[in-house]
Amino acid sequence: MMKRMVQCVHWKEYQGLNGWVMFCSAGAFARQLTREEAEQCGCTIEQRAICKQIMESNLGYGLVPEIIDAEGKAAPLVEKAASEL
């Protein structure tokens, strides 16, 4: 058994017919996380960049969840920094 690449409740890994499939289920299903939820599961700017890089090298593209503030608006600093990486 291979060790998990990312330790997160949203990270999914399984062996498919063509090899390993690794993805963020929160990103894949367009889930929005509050800053508190993101912090609790370790969805930091650095970790988001790592997850996105793994997905892009494994699947050809990567989706990470949108981080929102308490009012439900996108948290621009977090999203901008993650997209620049």
- Tens-digit pLDDT profile for the chain (85 aa)? 567 778 899 999 999 898 889 999 999 999 999 999 999 999 999 999 999 999 999 889 999 999 998 776 776 544 444 454 4
Is the distance from CB of 38 to CB of 75 less than 8 angstroms?
no
- Residue 33's nearest CA partner among 47, 21, 20 is 47
Domain locations in the chain as residue ranges = 32-84
pTM: 0.75
CA dist 19 and 12 (Å) reads 14
